[in-house]
Amino acid sequence: MKRVILVRHGQTTMNLQKLYYGFLDPDMTELGKEQVLKARKILEKMNYDEIISSDLKRAYETAKIINFKNLEIKVFSEIRELNFGIFEGLTYEEIKEKYPEELQKSIDDWKNYSFITGENPYDLQNRVVKFIDELEDNKTYLLATHWGVICTLLSYHFSNGLDSYWKYKIDNGSITIIEFREKYPLLCQLNLKGD
- The model carries a pTM of 0.96
How far apart are the C-alpha atoms of 148 and 53, rounded to whole Å? Answer: 14
Catalytic residue among 9, 61, 119, 146: 9
Cα torsion for 10, 14, 15, 16, to the nearest 10°?
A: 110
126 contacts 161 by C-beta, under 8 angstroms: no
How far apart are the C-alpha atoms of 188 and 180, rounded to whole Å? Answer: 10
Residue 70: pLDDT band (50, 70, 90) is very high
146 is catalytic: no
Catalytic residue among 30, 44, 50, 81: 81
The number of distinct structural domains making up the chain is 1
pLDDT for residue 182 is more than 90: no
Look up the domain containing 76 and give its range.
Answer: 2-192
Residue 194: pLDDT band (50, 70, 90) is confident
150 contacts 54 by C-beta, under 8 angstroms: no
78 contacts 128 by C-beta, under 8 angstroms: yes
How far apart are the C-alpha atoms of 120 and 24, rounded to whole Å? Answer: 16
**According to the model, what pLDDT value does residue 62 have?**
98
Residue 32: pLDDT band (50, 70, 90) is very high
Q: What angle do CA 178, 181, 184 make, to 5 degrees?
A: 75
pLDDT for residue 117 is more than 80: yes
pLDDT for residue 179 is more than 80: yes
**According to the model, what pLDDT value does residue 183 have?**
83
157 is catalytic: no
How far apart are the C-alpha atoms of 22 and 86, rounded to whole Å? Answer: 11
CATH code of 137's domain? 3.40.50.1240
